[in-house]
């Protein structure tokens, strides 16, 4: 069946809020399951392994696609519950990720108070975190300056106390746009998110949905505020209400 809506949702704080009540999640999942015209994609800053470990026991309805590691990797669901990485997307992102300057700079190039996030070893992303004593904006500025000095071409994305060093121009929005290219015709996108690493995803969406409890506000540039709809409820209840009450149309049509 032709996809008439591509629903792309963040996980932490969006599909799965803190203190999740499973009742609203079951209702949202039932609605998704009843709509064969809807394609569901999850987009997370976590690795696939981390997302499956954290949320696998909570989910009954699975997405067709999984954007992971802040858009630097993309997986598709296969029969039997297997996940297969999209090799074309992986190669394209890889071509934009030259870490030789990092290797040449050695282990001491990181700013003081910035260290690798424990347990994350993504192939095309450097996940860092800022120590509690250090101010995040100054650590971010310091990181950008040092990356420039060692000749590392990359984007820096700050989400809370996490600093992600990403291949230039790659984020959740890039992976979502890549997925859109696989549909014929391309369906409208409704995207749901709550934090800084969702901004590019919300910006590419026809209908950007920001969770009611998100800390993002108009000081966060890059969000298409004139099109953003804020949910009335947190988590699955808010997403389901948006799904049932808002009309999502392509912007070009
Ligand atoms: Mg989130």
Q: How far is the CA of 12 from the centre of ligand 1 (A)?
A: 4
Ligand 1 center–CA 150 separation, angstroms = 31
> Residue 10 Cα, ligand 1 centroid: separation in angstroms?
6
- Which residues of the chain are in CATH 3.90.1070.10 domains? 99-166
Measured in Å, residue 108 CA sits from the centre of ligand 1 at 31
pLDDT tens track for 109-143: 999 999 999 888 888 999 999 999 999 999 999 99
Topology of domain 99-166 in CATH is Hypothetical Protein Ta0175; Chain: A, domain 2 (3.90.1070)
CA of 9 from ligand 1 middle (Å) equals 9
Q: Residue 101 C-alpha to ligand 1 middle, in angstroms?
A: 31
So what's the pLDDT on residue 252? 57
pLDDT of residue 104: 93
Distance in angstroms between the alpha carbons of the first and the last residue of the chain = 21
Between the CA of 211 and the centroid of ligand 1 the distance, in Å, is 9
| Chain segment 39-78, per-residue pLDDT in tens | 999 999 999 999 999 999 999 999 999 999 999 999 999 9
CA of 106 to the centre of ligand 1 (A): 32
Environment class of 248 (CB within 10 Å of its CB; exposed 0-12, middle 13-18, buried 19+): buried
Residue span(s) of the chain under CATH 3.40.50.1000 come to 5-92+170-245
- The Cβ-side half-sphere exposure at 98, using a 13 Å CA radius, reads 9
Low-confidence ranges of the chain (pLDDT < 50): 253
The Å distance, Cα 55 to ligand 1 centre, comes to 13
Superfamily of segment(s) 5-92+170-245: HAD superfamily/HAD-like (3.40.50.1000)
CA of 183 to the centre of ligand 1 (A): 26
| Ligand 1 geometric centre to CA of 51 (Å) | 12
């Amino acid at each position: 069946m032709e996809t008439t809506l591509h629903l792309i949702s963040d996980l932490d704080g969006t599909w799965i809020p803190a203190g999740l009540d499973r009742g609203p999640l079951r209702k949202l999942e039932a609605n998704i399951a009843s709509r064969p015209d809807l394609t569901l994609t999850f987009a997370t800053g976590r690795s696939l392994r981390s997302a499956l470990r954290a949320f696998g026991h909570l989910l009954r309805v699975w997405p067709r696609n999984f954007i992971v590691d802040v858009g630097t990797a993309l997986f598709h669901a296969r029969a039997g519950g297997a996940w297969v990485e999209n090799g074309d997307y992986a190669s394209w992102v890889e071509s934009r990720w030259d870490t030789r300057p990092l290797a040449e700079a050695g282990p001491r190039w990181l700013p003081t108070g910035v260290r690798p996030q424990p347990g994350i070893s993504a192939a095309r992303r450097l996940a860092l975190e800022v120590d509690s004593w250090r101010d995040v904006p100054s650590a971010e500025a310091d990181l950008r300056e040092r990356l420039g000095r060692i000749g590392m071409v990359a984007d820096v994305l700050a989400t809370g106390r996490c600093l992600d060093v990403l291949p230039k121009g790659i984020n959740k929005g890039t992976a979502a746009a890549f997925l859109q290219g696989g549909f014929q015709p391309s369906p409208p996108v409704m995207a749901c998110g709550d934090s800084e690493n969702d901004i590019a995803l919300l910006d590419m969406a026809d209908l950007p949905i920001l969770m009611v409890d998100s800390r993002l506000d108009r000081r966060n540039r890059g969000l298409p505020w004139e099109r953003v709809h804020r949910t009335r409820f947190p988590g699955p209840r808010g997403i389901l209400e948006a799904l049932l009450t808002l009309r999502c149309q392509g912007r070009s049509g």
